[in-house]
Amino acid sequence: MTNATAAIDARGLGKRYGHRWALADCTLTIPAGHVAGLVGPNGAGKTTLISLATGMLAPTTGTVEVLGGQPTGGSDQLARVGYVAQDTPTYAGLSVADHLRLGAHLNPRWDAALARRRIEQLGLDPRQKAAELSGGQRAQLALTLALAKRPELLILDEPIASLDPSARREFLQVLMHATAEQGLSVVMSSHLVADLERVSDYLIVLIASRVRIDGEVDGLLATHHLLTGPRREAASLPASQQVITQSHTGRQSTFLVRSSEPVIDPAWTVEEVSLEDLVVAYMGQASAGSPDIRMLEVRR
Amino acid sequence: MIEFHLNSRSGVAPYLQLIRQVRQALRLGLLRAGDQLPTVKDVAGSVAVNPNTVLKAYRELEYEGLVAAKPGVGTFVTKTLSDASVAAHQRLSLELSAWIGRAQQAGLDIESIEALFQRAVQSAAREEAV
């Protein structure tokens, strides 16, 4: 919304630990002005990608640019990017007010009025120590600190995975309000597809350290169709329909296909797919039955 | 002012749910010409949905001629859905009930009727799309 430059632009990006690639050959462009959901099972490389984008890790191969700059590009770059680490850490021994003072000292663009207003809206007592806050309140405090530094891009690593449903909803409400108000770009990882369904308009599916699919959610949903009808072989489908998953019974076939053209064959019952269907299909395609896949929680 | 809600399990895209809620409120007279819709920021914050989704819904409603955006002020209802369309609804609903009655008399169960209806709606939608 504020910047025509890509939020994150990765070219052949990879990170290796010994013999294991935590992220391999990652080439992707996340445009600015979106709330991008980074989804994948635990261990797929989400945190590695985020750590590379925030300059906390150096890549083994390739490059990554964030808002057109180097992730380790000094204080100017740091001021433009807000980052909330996994499980929204805070300093247990410090009070809410201490956190705000710390934020004011460490961030050149710190918006003290915004921070105070948010703390008030959340109903937090400034004197309270972070250790005494609930999980949801701690997450909100971490989010407040990230928003008050007035970043152009906010990167959040599994911010709500450990929260209960109502704290999760409240967190997303504040995040979406701020996104609209501050014109933020957001990149948020989650292994819970349902959490991303409403808030993301851009999706990156990361499986086994590789990007499986990425793009605008509307476009992805419009080009994927679930077909049910009399049994037929995948080879008999038109070339324009790329089969993602298929299952067959004696008489019936079900295909999830990717096709930019509408499916007009009257033999098929055509259904739209949800974001969750789509992600699960790509996970299933990547490696049916691997232990990675079962770690993706699909919450209904 | 209208208050939006989203059903995650309906299978209907969030922006479409927002559009339908505005149309429904217009039909029921809960929204009238001149009324303001909540701001994108407020909708995003209250139902935890992507602001672009709200924008998309508002743009679609604008395209349909139901609302108009006044830059810097907000989005306002420009049209009250006419009584004529409500009257048409009632008549069509009666005709549909009569048709379902005939289908039952012909020996179809509810599921078969639903399948018939869905197939007809889908093929109509497909013809519209082509």
Partners of residue B20 on adjacent β-strands? none
Whether A297 shows a pLDDT value over 50: the answer reads no
Contacts of A174 in chain B (CB under 8 A): 45
B66 touches chain A (CB under 8 A): no
Q: What is the pLDDT of residue A271?
A: 87
Q: Which of A149-153, A191-195, A220-224, B49-53 has the lowest mean pLDDT?
A: A191-195
Contact B45/A at CB under 8 A: yes
CA distance A199 to chain B (A): 4
A35 touches chain B (CB under 8 A): yes
> B48–A198: do the CB atoms touch at under 8 Å?
yes
Q: Is the pLDDT of residue B61 over 80?
A: yes
Taking residues A55-77, report their average pLDDT: 91
Is pLDDT of A191 > 90?
A: no
Structure confidence at residue B84 as a pLDDT band (50, 70, 90):
low
Average pLDDT over residues B74-96: 80
Contacts of B48 (CB under 8 A, 6+ apart): A169, A172, A173, A175, A176, A198, A199
DSSP character string of A172-199:
HHHHHHHHHHHT-EEEEEES-HHHHHTT
Residue A171 has pLDDT above 80, yes or no: yes
For residues B44-57, average pLDDT = 94
- When pLDDT is cut at 50, 70 and 90, the band that residue A46 belongs to is very high
- pLDDT, position A2: 39
Task: Say what percent of chain A tops pLDDT 90.
Answer: 65
- Residues from chain B that touch A270, judged by Cβ atoms under 8 A, are 122, 126
pLDDT of B89 strictly over 80: no
Instruction: Tell me the pLDDT band of A42, cut-offs 50, 70 and 90.
Output: confident
| Contacts for A50-56: CB closer than 8 Å, 24+ residues apart | A50/A83, A50/A155, A50/A157, A50/A187, A50/A189, A52/A10, A52/A13, A52/A15, A52/A23, A53/A8, A53/A10, A53/A155, A53/A187, A54/A81, A54/A83, A54/A155
A113 vs B: CB within 8 A: no
Give per-residue pLDDT as tens, A134-147: 999 999 999 999 99
Identify all chain A residues contacting B41, using CB atoms and an 8 Å cutoff: 177, 180-181
Instruction: State whether residue A122 sits within 8 Å of chain B by CB.
Output: no
Q: Residues A6-34: what's their mean pLDDT?
A: 93
Give mean pLDDT, residues A35-45.
90
85-104 in chain B: CB under 8 A from chain A: none
pLDDT, averaged across chain A: 88
pLDDT at position A43 over 60:
yes
> What pLDDT is recorded for position B1?
80
B5 touches chain A (CB under 8 A): no
Q: With b meaning 16 or more CB within 10 Å and e meaning fewer, what string describes A17-37?
A: eeeebbbbebebebbbbbbbb
Domain map of chain A by residue range?
Answer: 6-218, 224-294
pLDDT range class, residue A295, cuts 50, 70, 90:
very low
* pLDDT value of position B79: 83
Residues A176, B123: C-beta atoms closer than 8 Å? no
| CATH number of the A6-218 domain | 3.40.50.300
pLDDT given at position A264: 84
Query: CB contact, 8 Å: A222 with chain B?
Result: no
Q: Does B106 touch chain A (CB under 8 A)?
A: no
Cβ contact B77:B66 at 8 Å? yes
Instruction: Determine contact: B32 vs chain A, CB below 8 A.
Output: no
Does residue A246 have a pLDDT over 80? yes
- Note whether A179 contacts B47, CB cutoff 8 Å: no
A284 pLDDT exceeds 80? no
Q: Is B122 close to A269, i.e. CB distance below 8 A?
A: yes
**What value does the mean pLDDT take over residues B11-24?**
89
Residue-wise pLDDT tens digits, A100-121:
999 999 998 999 999 999 999 9
Task: Name the residue facing A176 among B9, B49, B119 (closest C-beta).
Answer: B49
A-chain CB neighbours of B8 within 8 Å are 194, 197-198
CA distance linking residue A193 with residue A215, whole number of Å: 15
Q: How confident is the model at residue B85 (pLDDT cuts 50, 70, 90)?
A: low
pLDDT at A300: 36
Judge whether residue A155 has pLDDT over 80: yes
To the nearest whole angstrom, how far is the Cα of B51 from the nearest Cα of chain A?
6
Give contacts of A34 with chain B, Cβ < 8 Å: 52
Q: What is the pLDDT of residue A114?
A: 94
Nearest CA in chain B to A261: B130
Q: What is the pTM of this model?
A: 0.82
Chain B residues in contact with A200 by the CB 8 A cut-off are: 50
The token pair that represents B60 in the structure block: 């679609």
